[in-house]
Structure 1
Amino acid sequence: MKFKDMPYERVKYEDAEKEFRQIIEEFKNAESGEEQFEVHQKFYTLSNKIETTTIIANIRYDIDTANEFYEKEKEYYDEVEPKLANLMVEYRQAMYDSPYRSYLEGKIGKVAFKNIELEIKSFDEKLIPLMQEENALTTRYNKLIASAQIEWEGEKLNLSLMRPYLTNSDRNIRKKAYEKYSAFFLSVEDELDEIYDKLVKNRTEQARQMGYENYVELGYYRMRRNSYDKAMVENYRNQIKKYFVPFAEKLHERRKNRLGLDRLSFIDTAVYFLDGNPAPTGTPEQIMSAGQKMYSEMSPETKEFFDFMMKNELFDVLGRKTKKAGGYMTYLPVYGAPFIFANFNGTSGDVDVITHECGHAFQGYLSGKDPVQEHRDITMETAEIHSMSMEFFAEGWTELFFGDRAQDYKSMHLEDAAAFIPYGCMVDEFQHIAYANPDMTPKERRAAWLELEKEYRPHMDYEDDPFFAKGGFWQKQQHIYNSPFYYIDYCLAQTCAFQYKAKMDENYEEAWKSYLKLCELSAKDFYTDMLKEVGLESPFEDGCIRSVIEKLESKMV
């Protein structure tokens, strides 16, 4: 079914609660594992219906944040979702305590029960008011970011639509664009500080009510870190500081020379060539058509997937003034349908949507065919491997999108991906600092960010910018507000994606088989075990980072 034709009717909490109570009671009264698993199929049907309905409402709100109907629906779900989550946890607690658990574990797997354990550790009914407040705060932040109306040559542009000017080959245009971009953030600085301060204190209070010292432990449970812990992440970040930061700084030095600059400023952050970054040669329609050709040639599985997406109009990618910033893939379980949301703006990022987000969507399409719902509940460090690796698997078709600048795009993509890892680790360490010290003032948080810049991005120069120079850059990073502790997943996944890049350069077919296997494994196994199963080194293993750098250095001559 096409997305525009998918019916929508609000999930009434009273009705959902009644159905959940019936299922929970039936589950507890079942007299065998077989009977409980039959009840579990009813749970799938109910949870899929609720999830699909709420996602439809969220997408339609994101598509137009000025839509009054879906704005009210978004506000309603901000209130209701924590209550629905409470019912979900109550059901899963019954599963966890089942006398037939060994039978159920044989059906849905050990990973599922570990995730249930983490879910139980991360939620309690008493948190509902705080979670409702948290939802309202993140919605407020997203609406604030989406509200940007920047005057530019007779037009009013949002942040996404400013991107072509922020990466323009003309440095004077970039400077002017960043002045206006920064001015917007400066104009809402107090509100950004207020929202984040309330979020940190809110999440800290949730953690304390659950008996944890601070939100770090609770945040890890909510991210379902089911096979590694904070110490392993810290060790990974330390390896990045020791080995990857010096490598990334060489890349920035090389880029500085390529651009003919005496020093790199923050306005040069995303510019890689003196004549400008490679941009797609076609219209949005032509980009989508090129994507369909690429996936039809890549494999039978990707052809089936992309044809399904196009036939059912499961993309909303054109940038519009009232559209939420950013991009994502989500999944509509009732229809077995991934959905991709993005903001095309005429830059190479438009093609990244067709590779990165489609990597997510392809895996979602495959795992959606698995009758065991828990197998699609992948953790994010695994999910991002699918997306970031697809960016590399797609390189054989780069000319379809960039014409005679295909090689420039490949070079830029590899260099940009490598330079990202220190930044991603910096975002993660910043969040550990913020939540371990919840009483920090906004000024102290900005000072902490600037200190981390010295460790992770020593080349960064914000000049005398009134917002960014005093440590405000992190406030434009939506994950920090919306999804605490998510960002390190990108770094872990990029480390694995680089391994796939090396594998495909040696033997593309074998690399693809490994990737396809990883996509099909989904959440059937734990992250670190799955990596071994498909022939990848865990980013947590000593020596992995140095090995990745050696392979990258051989490509960047």
Structure 2
Amino acid sequence: MTLHFADLHPPRPTRQTLEAAHAAIHTDLAAGAADRRGTALARWDEERRRYESWSALVHLRFSQDTANAEARAERDYADALAPEATRHEVSVKRHLLDHPDRAALIAEQGAHRVRLWEMDITTFDPAIAPALEEEARLCAEYTELLASARLDVEGTRVNLSGLAPFQETRDRDVRHRAEQARWAFFAANAERLDGLYDRLVTLRHDMAATLGFASYTPLGYRRMRRVDYGPEQVAAFRAQVLEHVVPLVHRLLRQRTAEQGWDRLYAWDESLIDPAGNPRPAGAHDLLIERATMMFDRMGPALGAFFRTMNDGGFLDLRNRDGKAGGGFCTSFPTEGVPFIFANFNGTHHDIAVFTHEMGHAFQNWQSRDLPGIDLLWPTMDAAEINSMGLEFLTWPHMELMVEEGAADRYRRMHLIASLAFLPYGVCVDHFQHEIYADPAMSAEGRHALWRRLERLYMPWRDYGDLDYPAKGGRWQAQLHIYRLPFYYIDYTLALCCAMQFWLAARRDADDAMRRYTALCGQGGSASFTDLVASAGLVSPFSPGALHDVVREAETVLAL
């Protein structure tokens, strides 16, 4: 029997129901008897699954229609309740960590889960509950603001997601006008965007101070549940990208400039990767779904059957429309064990990349759905992004199905170049955030100047021409992670270093690479980032020379 998304109706929790459920859990834990402890742990896991399923559905419905008053009100209710749910969750974790026999606790729960809990209890105190609610409100305000954009380009009115086809057209003047329309929106909302971010940075710094941290950075790392590396290792990885990848990307862009006969490369030229025009999808939404079904069937019975479950059950929302939040993501409903993919198809190659990316997240969540305990269903986001980016590369042999006729090789080349070019941008975003939270009192002007300085370091080719707003350092305000998910963005670059190793492996033995990838997905969040990387036979991004083989192979494939 197929589960249908429309049939999901998780119960709506209240402060009273949360209090009652957790009081019973604590009573059973305090009793000391083994059977009652087992009952308490099972009840706690069930309670968390119900809450997370409800919360995921509420935030998904808001993303599907940010202008819907009912969806917005329910999101506000969920955001207000979230600190209360966290308080109860942390209380149980503290109780469990007080176990007098640490060896017995580790034997029962596993060393990784215990490490996660030890980190989690340092990130919350009831004193910061109002700040957490305000943080969620400000992040939602940013989402609504960007979703409200209506841009007129070439006689067409589009939202920010719908701008992509104009940004990638071969007509250079149209690309320029598309970027002018984009940055005119940000310039018109500059004061609001600066104010939102200032309040978020101040709020996060104050939360960190309340919890006893000298700055937000260590709290941010703990909120990301990074148990096996810190800012020093991340800085070393940024240095690897600067040394090995930035020169390679610069060479590629100089080559492109010469091929196109341009006198100079402008920011609006960078998205046109293929001189013949970036390959487009084979068709619109329905054809892509049909072709994806064939592709995943070819890649293995588990992947194919899973995609049919997603599609038949209505767990995909891929069409762009007014009022829909931008971007793409994968969420899940742990009571049912089925994930959900959200994206915005816009008729460009991004439709394929985003779809296969989110499908990687979804497949991982499906493969690990039977692991014991909600803490293990998802890996930390650094490892989770290996699953998503890895599938982007592993679908390469089947791109003839997904792109316009005769363009598969061009798509693969474009995807490789775009992946390499992403690394400098990704580490620039991360470096920016480290500088921001080290100096939370920095002015709006200082933040823009900081971004421009770092942009010149990691992307020395970037030339905004007459686009005043990004030229003055405003480009970062279009990156939602900077506002909503501090310190997340480096995860994409760390994971890409690993995902491209799957690309190397698949070039030698595609079946073996797929087996290793599927096994990694099945481990879910049962281990830390570096342990999961090692288990898949991959080199850690923190190892010296981690990018060496990838860069060398890319140079060969791209004939540099």
TM-score (norm 2): 0.97
User: What is the distance in 2 between the residues matched to 1:127 and 1:258?
Assistant: 55
Deviates more, 1:244-253 or 1:455-464: 244-253
Match of residue 284 from structure 2: 283
Match of residue 58 from structure 1: 59
Match of residue 368 from structure 1: 369
Can you list the C-alpha shifts for 1:137-157, whole angstroms capped at 9, x where unaligned?
A: 101111001110112355431
Match of residue 545 from structure 2: 543
1:111 is displaced (CA, Å) by 0.8
User: What is the distance in 2 between the residues matched to 1:35 and 1:93?
Assistant: 18
8 Å Cα contact 2:10-2:53 kept in structure 1: no
Deviates more, 1:268-277 or 1:5-14: 5-14
1:238 is displaced (CA, Å) by 1.2
> Does 1:556 pair with 2:558?
yes
Can you list the C-alpha shifts for 1:409-464, whole angstroms capped at 9, x where unaligned?
A: 10000000011011100000000000000010011001001110111000000112
Structure 2 gap segments, 5+ residues each = none
Match of residue 198 from structure 1: 199
Can you list the C-alpha shifts for 1:300-331, whole angstroms capped at 9, x where unaligned?
A: 21012111101111001100011001110011
Residue 201 of structure 1 aligns with an amino acid whose one-letter code is: T
User: What is the distance in 2 between the residues matched to 1:80 and 1:284?
Assistant: 37
Match of residue 208 from structure 1: 209
1:92 is displaced (CA, Å) by 1.0
1:122-161 correspondence to structure 2 within 5 Å: 122-161=123-162
1:391 is displaced (CA, Å) by 0.6
Can you list the C-alpha shifts for 1:221-246, whole angstroms capped at 9, x where unaligned?
A: 00011111111111111121122211
Instruction: State the aligned residue count.
Output: 556
Deviates more, 1:540-549 or 1:388-397: 540-549
Match of residue 17 from structure 1: 19
User: What is the distance in 1 between the residues matched to 2:59 and 2:101?
Assistant: 37
> Does 1:49 pair with 2:32?
no
> Does 1:517 pair with 2:519?
yes
User: What is the distance in 1 between the residues matched to 2:371 and 2:147?
Assistant: 36
Can you list the C-alpha shifts for 1:328-349, whole angstroms capped at 9, x where unaligned?
A: 0011111111100011110111
Match of 2:535 among 530, 533, 536: 533
User: What is the distance in 1 between the residues matched to 2:103 and 2:78?
Assistant: 35
1:8 is displaced (CA, Å) by 5.2
Deviates more, 1:388-397 or 1:346-355: 346-355
**Matched residues, percent identical?**
35
8 Å Cα contact 2:49-2:374 kept in structure 1: no
Q: In structure 2, the residue corresponding to 1:537 is in which secondary structure? A: coil
1:28-177 correspondence to structure 2 within 5 Å: 28-32=30-34, 35-99=36-100, 101-177=102-178
Residue 342 of structure 1 aligns with an amino acid whose one-letter code is: A
Structure 1 gap segments, 5+ residues each = none
Match of residue 335 from structure 1: 336
1:183 is displaced (CA, Å) by 0.5
Match of 1:418 among 396, 417, 420: 420
Residue 105 of structure 1 aligns with an amino acid whose one-letter code is: I
1:497-516 correspondence to structure 2 within 5 Å: 497-516=499-518
Residue 288 of structure 2 aligns with an amino acid whose one-letter code is: I
8 Å Cα contact 2:113-2:375 kept in structure 1: yes
Match of residue 351 from structure 1: 352
TM-score (norm 1): 0.97
8 Å Cα contact 1:375-1:524 kept in structure 2: yes
Q: In structure 2, the residue corresponding to 1:329 is in which secondary structure? A: strand
Match of residue 227 from structure 1: 228
User: What is the distance in 2 between the residues matched to 1:352 and 1:115?
Assistant: 31
Match of residue 5 from structure 2: 3
User: What is the distance in 2 between the residues matched to 1:548 and 1:272?
Assistant: 20
Q: In structure 2, the residue corresponding to 1:543 is in which secondary structure? A: coil
1:10 is displaced (CA, Å) by 2.9
8 Å Cα contact 2:520-2:532 kept in structure 1: yes
Match of 1:472 among 474, 490, 493: 474
RMSD: 1.4
1:396 is displaced (CA, Å) by 1.1
User: What is the distance in 2 between the residues matched to 1:372 and 1:163?
Assistant: 40
User: What is the distance in 2 between the residues matched to 1:49 and 1:369?
Assistant: 16
8 Å Cα contact 2:389-2:495 kept in structure 1: yes
Match of residue 482 from structure 1: 484
1:19 is displaced (CA, Å) by 0.8
1:105 is displaced (CA, Å) by 2.4
Residue 10 of structure 1 aligns with an amino acid whose one-letter code is: R
Match of residue 437 from structure 1: 439
Residue 358 of structure 1 aligns with an amino acid whose one-letter code is: M
1:372 is displaced (CA, Å) by 3.0
Distance 1:154 1:253, change over 3 A: closer
Residue 361 of structure 2 aligns with an amino acid whose one-letter code is: H
> Does 1:26 pair with 2:12?
no
Q: In structure 1, the residue corresponding to 2:152 is in which secondary structure? A: strand
8 Å Cα contact 1:260-1:274 kept in structure 2: no
Q: In structure 1, the residue corresponding to 2:342 is in which secondary structure? A: strand
8 Å Cα contact 1:384-1:493 kept in structure 2: yes
1:275 is displaced (CA, Å) by 3.1
Can you list the C-alpha shifts for 1:471-526, whole angstroms capped at 9, x where unaligned?
A: 00000000000000000000000000111111110111111121112111222222
1:9 is displaced (CA, Å) by 4.7
User: What is the distance in 2 between the residues matched to 1:255 and 1:43?
Assistant: 56
User: What is the distance in 2 between the residues matched to 1:520 and 1:6?
Assistant: 25
8 Å Cα contact 1:258-1:273 kept in structure 2: no
8 Å Cα contact 1:165-1:177 kept in structure 2: yes
Q: In structure 2, the residue corresponding to 1:51 is in which secondary structure? A: helix
Q: In structure 1, the residue corresponding to 2:335 is in which secondary structure? A: helix
1:107 is displaced (CA, Å) by 3.6
